[in-house]
Amino acid sequence: MRFILTILIFTINFMAVTAQATASFTASATIIQPIGIKTLANLKFAAIDARNGGEIILSPQDERIATGDARLENGGEVTAATFEVTGQQGFDFSLSLPSGPFFLSNGKEQMIIKDFTSSIGNTGNLTAGNSVFKIGATLQVEAQQPPGFYYTSTPLTITVNYN
Tens of pLDDT, residue by residue over 70-129, are: 999 999 999 999 999 999 999 999 999 999 789 999 999 999 999 999 999 999 999 999
Distances (CA, A) of 45 to 72, 106, 144: 9, 15, 17
pTM of the model as a whole: 0.84
Among the four given CATH numbers 2.60.40, 3.10.20, 1.10.15, 1.10.3470, the one describing domain 35-162: 2.60.40
What pLDDT score was predicted for residue 1? 56
What pLDDT score was predicted for residue 111? 98
What pLDDT score was predicted for residue 6? 55
What pLDDT score was predicted for residue 7? 55
The Cα–Cα gap between 114 and 99 comes to 8
Q: Is 60 exceeded by the pLDDT of residue 30?
A: yes
Please report the sign of the dihedral spanned by the C-alpha atoms of residue 120, residue 122, residue 128, residue 130: positive
